[in-house]
Structure 1
Amino acid sequence: MSLFFLIGITIKNSYQLQEKSLIDNLRNKAQTIFNLIVDVRHWNAQYNGVYVKSEDLKPNPYLNPNFIKSKNDETMVWINPAFMTRQISDIASQRDGFKLKITSNKLINKNNAPDEYEKILLDYFEKNPNKQSYWDIKDNKFKFMGALKIEKDCLKCHAKQGYKVGDIRGGISVTFDVSNEFEQLKEINKEKKLTIIFLIIAAIGGVITLIIHETMKRRDEQKISKLNESLETKVNELDDFNKTLHKKVQEEVKKQREKENLLIQQSKMAALGEMIGNIAHQWRQPISAVSAIMMNIKWTAIAEGMNKKFIDDRMKEANEQLGYMSQTIDDFRNFFKPNKEKELFDLDLEVRKTYKILKDTLQNNNINFQIFSNKEIIVFGYPSEFSQVVLNIISNAKDVLIERNTDKPKIEVHILKDEENIYCKITDNAGGIEEEIINKIFEPYFTTKESRGTGIGLYISKEIIQKHMNGLLIVKNNEVGAEFTISIPKKEEEV
């Protein structure tokens, strides 16, 4: 019976997977359309707009001049990025069940006015500049909007309006009619419910039930394949609109992924090297102690004629030292164990775990390390990645303190919070960072350690805090040294 129960649950869950696959395809399709339109706009902005010879196209009344006359008295209509996007939207929206629109909260052309739903999303993008897009499904409509950000080429027209690079100018919405696709999923779900009922009734005929299940599975896969083919056909229609631009997007995405993989690999290697160095240092003293104990056992056994109690006592000491060594390697292994999902964790506890890894190195170099935290402070994120960031910053501070032979070296960690954010401030008294390089330390491959550094630790640290935990990592010099501040929102913002 348990076998049939598991089969029934599997069939039921497959509908959810099929629905997720459909939504992923729709989201990717909308994102591809948005990227193509943005690339077209960038091309137009690069040349400060283009002129089109036409006696039929009505010039944009919001542009000045909106047309010129050629030497042959031909009308040359000026088309800027917004006007070009509007033309493309009008053409694309003629397709059945499809709508493409450019809109903004700060209108110039009233024809681009946002509806109530688009207005909410535009307000959301302005309040959350790190959010690139949003999608939703409502009334059998897949609605997607991507944020249009001001880039350098855009300032040719928009600088006079008070915009700067990174500001939200507006958005492009993409809408699909998905009623047919979800109707097919409902039909598939109905068939699965009938199959589950049949499995319960035919539990005794297990072999026959298994055959029926496999048959239904193949039939469902064929239907899903047809559904995917239908979606791919629609995507291909849009791909034909501008194959060259789509190919360029794919090539740039591939290059970016290769760079990111390289950075991740180099970061792992750097962290691994640091970890091995700490393990070697952590083990050196216990190993020496074990060696001395065993030597003592040897000579005492010879001198005292194999005194059993003495030998047992010395062996107990040796086992305690070996146990310490075993616990040390477990501490390292747990520290570097990756977190695949976000979770709530105690900021103070993670800092203390990091200190435990570096404790011997700091003490051997007479570096005073203190943590100031008045109460338990809980954050939502990746504890292992956060610990890696703290480890990078403290390790860098330790290296500078040793290199500069600082008098009474110390490192302090202050954990505090306000109404909106939680902060972790890490300071040292090594004299600070040179003004000419302080703005470069978060850049990839920038290092002051020459052959001992990769220049990637602080870059990866900033990526972790800003992209993975929606926070900020900044640095400044105080009266006695450098001060790194990690700020993390108390909770993730929702739409």
Structure 2
Amino acid sequence: MFIKKSIIYLFIFFLLSLFFIIGITIKNSYQIQENLLTESLKNKALAIFNLIVDMRHWNAQYDGVYVKSEKLQPNPYLDPNFIKSEHGETLVWVNPAFMTRQISDIASKRDGFKLKITSNKLINKNNAPDEDEKKILDYFDKNPETPYSWEIKDNQFKFMGALKTEKACLTCHSKQGYKVGDIRGGISVTFDVANEFEQLSEINKEKTQTIIFLIIAAIGALITLLIHESMKRKDEIKISKLNESLEVKVNELDEFNKTLHKKVQEEVKKQREKENLLIQQSKMAALGEMIGNIAHQWRQPISAVSAIMMNIKWTAISEGMNKEFIDERMKEANEQLSYMSQTIDDFRNFFKPNKEKEFFDLDLEVRKTYKILKDTLQHNNINFQIFSNKEIMVYGYPSEFSQVILNIISNAKDVLIERNTDKPKIEVHILKDEENIYCKICDNGGGIEEKNINKIFEPYFTTKELRGTGIGLYISKEIIEKHMQGLLVVKNNELGAEFIISIPIKEEEA
């Protein structure tokens, strides 16, 4: 009875955990999609703003242009605002601000977005800022390095870019006291985004419904399996009771025979466990970091596949899809999935043990290890370089050697991040002389404290407090010196720490 209750409680806990994990996953997915949409809208507004600024620059370099038009009325705030040609035609003077307003009128009617030029020092009172625009202009005045500001309010995407005073602008605005480089106003770009967010909500709704259906199906299958296992268990208990009496007698005899042998095995096992425990702990620590690297490397392709599916959905709604479009999107999605599959192969090969020594390319193993850590290093802006003149073959265990390189580079990475090093970098130099092969790993993290440099390879010594195990460098030294008959030492140079691996050359390597 107690076992049944435990199973029920465990099942309930499993369901709650599953719902929680799926809920968090869905929420994060929705947030990513919303961020992508917002970024797209911002880029659209920024492109429009930059186009208007380029138009104004063109107009300003000619001190405005004169336009022949019967419908266009001269700007009353410009003086002079028109001229007469030698043929008696009226030519209206159009400066950058006047041209911006004309384009805004066209864009509002045809393209669905509004443009407005405004300032805290007005020439034309019709361009007076509203309350929100006034706050942004004041912010630009206090923070002149801020190029633009945006917000989504009342289903409207409201963007405003800052306008800096240039020499050509002083033709019209010198009387307002502006100097070159001053913020003299801004251009706002406003358009409706209700439809875009409604489409995003619809996509998320359909995705949620699909996930809920799959969860219900999975729960149904799990309940069926539990019922089957429960019935199977009852039959097994009946058979087990019939065999218990016989097994007791057999076990007593087996236990007597095994006691002596077991004690011998236990002593041998304890000795082996002591030797293997540190290596296993080091591998598990490396495995934990590898899992983090997998998650980091998968995040971008998963987001890319999600964006591709969103693109297909929007295109289907707005324009319809043809075979060429679908094939292109599927190709992009398959490329992302192939990248994820290759990531799994890379990590699986990295942890594949080598049973026997073999000759391997030192440069190639270093590059394989870098491939594992590449995304993590790039994410933290750590520059990584390998200096190697030619192929250098080494005799040993490539998988264990890769673990050594991984431990040293990971430690260097942690130091660079913890110390917030300016322009962080890690370099690997592969060299060779008549007797030895050398692999030097250097960083610019400031080096190791003198009081710790002689303890760095001791087991369980760490400066990382809660995050460190203190076994990575110890295991690295054991692998190089005991398994590959080499030497691993460390010293400080003028920029940081320098780990030097030296391995004797075998005759076949020479």
**Normalization by structure 2: what TM-score?**
0.46
Higher radius of gyration, 1 or 2 = 2
Determine which structure has greater relative contact order: mean sequence separation of CA pairs < 8 Å that are 6+ residues apart, divided by chain length. Answer: 1
